[in-house]
Amino acid sequence: MFDLGWIRVANPSAVIALSQIVAVEAQSLGLWSLNLSTIVDTIDASNQFGFVYATTPDHVEEGEERFLVEISPDTGQVTYKLEAVSRPRDVMARLGLPITRAFQRKFAIDSHKRMHQAIHRQAG
C-alpha cells in the first residue's frame, strides 16, 4: 500500500506493533521528504487486520491514519479502508495546504489501486 514509486516506507523491516516508528519517504515537486509516525493501535482479528499511526512532532502534518484490510465472513469479499485526519503542523505546511491535500488524495487513490492489484494477484 506504500510501495508506489513516489512514496515508500523507508524502514520496510519495521513490524506492525504498538510504538513502532514508521518512516515514510515521499517525493513531491521533485523533492524527497521523510516523515515519521508511531503505530498507536493494531487490529488483528479473524476477519480484520490493520493499524493506526499518529504523526510525530517531526512530521509535516499533525494527525492519524488508519489502514484496514477486512474479509467479509459471509461473502469472502476483501476490502481495504484508508482513513486519515490531519492538519498542517506549521506555517509552511499551511501555505502549501492545497498541494498537500492533492498529494494526500493521490496517495489514497494510488494506495487503493496497489491493494486491489495485490488482492487480485493472491486470488489469481
Per residue in 2-42, pLDDT tens? 788 889 999 999 999 999 999 999 887 788 889 899 999 99
User: What would the 3-class secondary structure string for 23-45 be?
Assistant: EEEEEECCEEEEEEEEEEEEEEC
What is the 3 state secondary structure string of 52-93? EEEECCCCCEEEEEEEEEEECCCCCCEEEEEEEEEEECCHHH
Query: What does the block give as the cell for 96?
Result: 502549501
Given a cut of 80, whether residue 123 has pLDDT beyond it is no
Pick the more confident residue, 118 or 14.
14
Full-model pTM: 0.84
Asked, for residue 1, whether it belongs to a domain, the answer is no
Structural domain contains residue 89: yes
pLDDT digit string (tens) for 40-56?
999 999 999 999 999 99
Q: Which domain holds residue 67?
A: 7-123
Asked if pLDDT for residue 124 goes beyond 70, the answer is no
* Residue 101, pLDDT above cutoff 70: yes
Question: Region 100-124: what's the mean pLDDT?
Answer: 82
Instruction: Tell me the Cα Rg of the chain.
Output: 15
Region of 19 (left: φ > 0; alpha: ψ -120 to 50; beta: rest) is left
Asked if residue 34 belongs to a domain, the reply is yes
Q: What is the pLDDT of residue 30?
A: 83
Domain assignment present for residue 20? The answer is: yes
Segment 63-86, tens digit of pLDDT:
999 999 999 999 988 889 999 998
Confirm whether 26 is domain-assigned.
yes
Is residue 114 domain-resident?
yes
Asked whether the beta carbons of 36 and 23 are under 8 A apart, the reply is yes
Task: Please tell me the total count of domains within the chain.
Answer: 1
- Rounded CA-CA distance 48/87 in Å is 28
- Locate 41 and state its grid cell: 493501535
Average pLDDT of span 96-120: 86
Note whether residue 2 is domain-resident: no
Contact residues for 32 (Cβ-Cβ < 8 A; gap 6+): 25, 26
